[in-house]
Structures are given as structure tokens and as C-alpha cells.
Structure 1
Amino acid sequence: MANAFSYSCRDCEGMEACPASVVAETKDEVWKLMQLHAQVAHDENPADWDNETRDYLSTLIKPVSV
């Protein structure tokens, strides 16, 4: 089994109703997809995320086996 990483938006505090999730080969790819999702679905600008927010979001990226 190959390793990958996942992120589910519903795991983020305040986003429990959002069904979006991503799985990718690398954490970097997951971050890019998270940022795109935040822009498109939640009208957020990831450039505005402070270090505390980024640190919190990084804890929501989980290793998975595919």
C-alpha cells in the first residue's frame, strides 16, 4: 500500500457542514488543494491565514494508506 495524506474540511472548527475532502500523495499537494478549496468554497484568502491558523490546519492533515 502506498502512503498518502488527507484533509477533510469538516474536521476544521466551524466547517462541520462542509463535505469537501482531499487525498494526495504529498502534504504539499494537500496544502495546495486546501488553499484552492478555501478560496472557491469559502471565499477565504489563504494568504491572510496567520501562523496560528496554518499550524492548526497542519494538524488536520492525516496520513492514510491507499
Structure 2
Amino acid sequence: MKAYSYACRDCEGMEACPASVVAETEAEVWQLMEAHARIAHDENPAEWDKDTRDYLATLIRPVEV
């Protein structure tokens, strides 16, 4: 089965964050990433610009589960 993952520590400046997510679809990963950003880092994902979203998209990786 194919899934997608994101590890917050892969994001520049977040190396100390232990959070990671795995979900069936990239859309689910985005939802989990955004929730994590709000809760753990007090960020508002609605304020992420296109460059930030493009960068974060490179950190979502396909995985086999």
C-alpha cells in the first residue's frame, strides 16, 4: 500500500521537532501538517505563501506501508 509521510524535522529551522505524520493521501498529510503547525508552532497555515507551500511539498514523501 502506498502512503505519504512528512517529518517536521526535515523542515529548515525545525530540526528539533520530533513530529511526523503518515497518511494515505497527500491531502491528508497537508491537513495534519497544518494542524501540527497551529498546535505545536503557533503558526497560521493560511499565511503560508506559495514559496513556503512549494517548499513544504518537497518534504512530503511517498512511502510503502
Q: 1:27 — aligned with what?
A: 26
Q: Which letter does structure 2 place at the counterpart of 1:44?
A: E
CA distance in 2, matches of 1:31, 1:60: 11
Q: 2:55 — aligned with what?
A: 56
For structure 2, the 5+ residue unaligned runs are none
Aligned length in residues: 65
TM-score, normalising length: structure 2 = 1.00
> Following TM superposition, by how much is the alpha carbon of 1:37 offset from its aligned partner in structure 2, in angstroms?
0.1
TM-score, normalising length: structure 1 = 0.98
Residues 4-31 of structure 1 show CA distances to partners (whole Å, capped at 9, x for unaligned) of 0000000000000000000000000000
For structure 1, the 5+ residue unaligned runs are none
CA distance in 2, matches of 1:45, 1:52: 15
> Following TM superposition, by how much is the alpha carbon of 1:43 offset from its aligned partner in structure 2, in angstroms?
0.0
4+ aligned runs moved over 6 Å, structure 1:
none
Cα RMSD after superposing both structures = 0.1
CA distance in 2, matches of 1:58, 1:35: 12
